[in-house]
Amino acid sequence: PDARTIIAALRDRKGLPGASAEWFADGLASDGVTDAQAGAFAMAVFLNGLSEAERVGLTLAMRDSGQVLDWALPGPVLDKHSTGGIGDCTSLLLAPALAACGAYVPMISGRGLGHTGGTLDKLEAIPGYRTDISTDDLHRLVADTGCAIIGATGDIAPADRRLYAIRDVTGTVESIDLITASILSKKLAAGLQGLVLDVKVGTGAFMKTMDRAEALAKSLVATAEGAGCRAAALITDMNQPLASSAGNALEVLEAMETMTGNAVNQALWDVTVALGAEALVLGGLASDEEDGADQVDEALTSGRAAEVFGRMVAALGGPGDFVDRYPDRLPAARVVRDVPAPRAGFVTEIDAEALGHAVVHLGGGRLRGGDRINPSVGLSDMMPIGEPLAAGETIARIHAASDGDAEAALAAVIAAYRIGEDDPEEPPLIHDRIV
Which of 186, 200, 337, 357 is flagged as catalytic? 186
**Closer residue to ligand URA in complex, CB, 173/429:** 173
The residue range among 47-55, 177-185, 244-252, 333-341 that interacts with ligand URA, by the rule CB under 6 A, is 177-185
To the query of whether residue 167 is one of the catalytic residues in this protein, the response is yes
Cα pseudo-dihedral 113, 116, 122, 124, rounded to 10: 20
* Number of Cβ within a 10 Å radius of residue 401: 16
**Closer residue to ligand URA in complex, CB, 113/391:** 113
**Closer residue to ligand URA in complex, CB, 197/308:** 197
The residue range among 26-34, 72-80, 91-99, 175-183 that interacts with ligand URA, by the rule CB under 6 A, is 175-183
297: left (phi over 0), alpha (psi -120 to 50) or beta: alpha
- Find the shortest distance in angstroms from Cβ 85 to ligand URA: 12
To the query of whether residue 14 is one of the catalytic residues in this protein, the response is no
Choosing from 20, 91, 116, 182, the residue that interacts with ligand URA (CB under 6 A) is 182
- Find the shortest distance in angstroms from Cβ 120 to ligand URA: 13
User: In sequence order, what are the residues at sequence separation of 6 or more whose Cβ sits closer than 8 angstroms to the Cβ of residue 406?
Assistant: 335, 337, 398, 400
Considering only residues 135 to 164 of the shown chain, the ones binding ligand URA according to CB under 6 A are 164
* Number of Cβ within a 10 Å radius of residue 166: 19
CA distances from 316 to 147, 169, 300, 320 (A): 11, 35, 21, 10
- Find the shortest distance in angstroms from Cβ 239 to ligand URA: 20
Alpha helices in 153-207 (DSSP H): 158-168, 176-188
Per-residue exposure over 200-211, b if at least 16 CB sit within 10 Å of its own CB, e if not: bbbbbbbbbeee
190 touching ligand URA, by CB under 6 A = no
To the query of whether residue 119 is one of the catalytic residues in this protein, the response is yes
The residue range among 179-187, 210-218, 239-247, 409-417 that interacts with ligand URA, by the rule CB under 6 A, is 179-187
To the query of whether residue 186 is one of the catalytic residues in this protein, the response is yes
CA distances from 315 to 104, 138, 147, 151 (A): 16, 11, 11, 15
- Number of residues in the chain: 435
DSSP code, position 346: E
**Closer residue to ligand URA in complex, CB, 208/418:** 208
The residue range among 174-182, 311-319, 327-335, 369-377 that interacts with ligand URA, by the rule CB under 6 A, is 174-182
**Closer residue to ligand URA in complex, CB, 164/346:** 164
To the query of whether residue 187 is one of the catalytic residues in this protein, the response is yes
Burial of 309 (0-12, 13-18, 19+ CB in 10 A): buried
Among 241, 343, 286, 265, which Cα is nearest to 98's? 286
Number of chain positions touching ligand URA (CB under 6 A): 5
- Find the shortest distance in angstroms from Cβ 113 to ligand URA: 7
Which of 80, 397, 399, 431 is flagged as catalytic? 80
- Find the shortest distance in angstroms from Cβ 183 to ligand URA: 5
Strand partners, 399: 336, 378
What is the Cα–Cα distance from 377 to 265, expressed in whole angstroms? 20
Choosing from 43, 44, 149, 179, the residue that interacts with ligand URA (CB under 6 A) is 179
183 touching ligand URA, by CB under 6 A = yes
**Closer residue to ligand URA in complex, CB, 147/178:** 178
What is the Cα–Cα distance from 17 to 40, expressed in whole angstroms? 17
To the query of whether residue 81 is one of the catalytic residues in this protein, the response is yes
Instruction: Give the residue at shortest CB distance from ligand URA.
Output: 182
Contacts to ligand URA by CB under 6 A: 164, 178-179, 182-183
The set of catalytic residues is 79-82, 119, 167, 182, 186-187
